[in-house]
């Protein structure tokens, strides 16, 4: 059940729906361990939560949802855990085309796909190509993604262009070299699980994002928790380095 059941309720409470929400999906392993289950069970539960939040965010008017599914550092985990995550991804991509079609949702992947299996790379390409026709709602899945790696790759690509054309560089131009080219920066970044760090996630893009932390483990995260995060976001003042109104000393 939503905290705000109607558009009028939202407006009366001053609720602002973020255009772009990004989520670090954390806590799957701990969720499973606390229940005496294998870590794979936590990842399966987390995948179901991702499906629920994906659909819910579309229903309330969010335009972009970006989720951190697998980082460049996650390859360090046990092979059976990594293999299980990849099997889950195959499962949901295989089942997902009908859902993406039904809800007219575009799917994009941010990250280096070259380390994935040929089968999984092919699935990623087909899903991106098939859903490119949808423009109202976009799910970005960060897979084999690390923000420092993304920035280094962007710098290398720009250097190649500069060597050939002498192209000038500014922030907007640099953003076009990132995996997220064409996607607005996240308004809010949510991290569940009680950790207070950003773990190499969207370092360039979240320069002025509002950060929201909660102790809830990702498999237990619900649409009501999205509502609470949005309510909190709605009461913040986004300054982008400027001053608050009527603040003589300025905002530090």
The rounded Cα 121 to chain-centroid distance in angstroms is: 20
Q: What is the pLDDT of residues 167-182, one digit of tens each?
A: 899 999 999 999 999 9
Residues 42, 26: Cα–Cα separation, whole Å: 10
Asked, for residue 165, whether it belongs to a domain, the answer is no
Q: For position 3, what pLDDT does the model report?
A: 60
> In sequence order, what are the beta bridge partners of 191?
213
196: its two tokens:
């207070």
> Residue 98: which pLDDT band, with cuts at 50, 70 and 90?
confident
Nearest to 218 by CA among 226, 207, 206: 226
Q: What is the pLDDT of residues 16-66, one digit of tens each?
A: 999 999 999 999 999 999 999 999 999 999 999 999 999 999 999 999 999
Q: Which residues are catalytic?
A: 26, 74
Asked, for residue 241, whether it belongs to a domain, the answer is no
Instruction: Map residue 52 onto helix, strand or coil.
Output: helix
Q: Is the Cβ–Cβ distance between 227 and 4 less than 8 Å? A: yes
Per the structure, how many domains does the chain have?
1
pTM of the predicted model as reported, rounded to 2 decimal places: 0.91
**pLDDT at residue 250 is higher than 90:** no
Q: What is the mean pLDDT of the chain?
A: 92
Asked, for residue 118, whether it belongs to a domain, the answer is yes
% of residues, the chain, pLDDT over 90: 84
Beta sheet of 210-213, edge-to-edge order? 106-110, 138-145, 64-71, 20-24, 188-191, 210-213
**pLDDT at residue 8 is higher than 60:** no
Residue 60, classified by CB atoms within 10 Å of its CB into exposed (0-12), middle (13-18) or buried (19+), is middle
Non-local CB neighbours of 133 within 8 Å, separated by 6+ positions: 106
Asked, for residue 134, whether it belongs to a domain, the answer is yes
Nearest to 62 by CA among 200, 229, 202, 197: 229
CATH number for 58 = 3.40.1180.10
> In sequence order, what are the beta bridge partners of 176?
none
The rounded Cα 23 to chain-centroid distance in angstroms is: 5
Asked, for residue 219, whether it belongs to a domain, the answer is yes
Residues 133, 50: Cα–Cα separation, whole Å: 22
Asked, for residue 3, whether it belongs to a domain, the answer is no
Asked, for residue 247, whether it belongs to a domain, the answer is no
Q: Output DSSP code: residue 187.
A: S
Range of the domain at 223: 17-146+187-234
Query: What average pLDDT does the segment 151-167 reach?
Result: 95
The 3-state secondary structure of 109-134, one letter per residue: EECCHHHCCHHHHHHHHHHHHHHCCC
Q: For position 241, what pLDDT does the model report?
A: 75
Better pLDDT: 115 or 7: 115
> Residue 6: which pLDDT band, with cuts at 50, 70 and 90?
low
Q: What is the pLDDT of residues 206-224, one digit of tens each?
A: 999 999 999 999 999 999 9
Q: For position 251, what pLDDT does the model report?
A: 44
């Amino acid at each position: 059940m939503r905290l705000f059941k109607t558009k009028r309720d939202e407006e009366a409470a001053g609720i602002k729906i973020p255009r772009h929400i990004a989520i670090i999906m954390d806590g799957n392993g701990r969720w499973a361990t606390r229940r005496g289950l294998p870590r794979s069970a936590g990842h399966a539960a987390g995948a179901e939560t991702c499906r629920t939040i994906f659909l819910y965010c579309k229903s309330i008017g969010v335009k972009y949802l970006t989720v951190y599914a697998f980082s460049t550092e996650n390859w360090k985990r046990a092979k059976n855990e990594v293999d299980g995550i990849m099997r889950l991804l195959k499962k949901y991509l295989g089942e997902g085309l009908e859902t993406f079609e039904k809800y007219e949702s575009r799917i994009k992947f941010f990250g280096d796909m070259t380390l994935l299996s040929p089968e999984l790379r092919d699935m990623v390409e087909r899903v991106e190509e098939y859903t490119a026709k949808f423009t109202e709602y976009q799910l970005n899945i960060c897979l084999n993604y690390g923000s420092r790696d993304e920035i280094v790759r962007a710098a290398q690509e720009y250097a190649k262009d500069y060597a050939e054309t002498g192209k000038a560089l500014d922030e907007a131009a640099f953003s076009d070299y990132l995996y997220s080219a064409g996607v607005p920066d996240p308004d809010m970044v949510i991290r569940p699980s009680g950790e207070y760090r950003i773990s190499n996630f969207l370092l360039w893009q979240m320069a002025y994002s509002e950060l929201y932390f909660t102790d809830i483990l990702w498999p237990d995260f619900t649409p009501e928790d999205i509502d609470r995060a949005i309510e909190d976001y709605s009461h913040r003042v986004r300054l982008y380095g400027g001053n608050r109104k009527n603040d003589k000393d300025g905002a530090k």
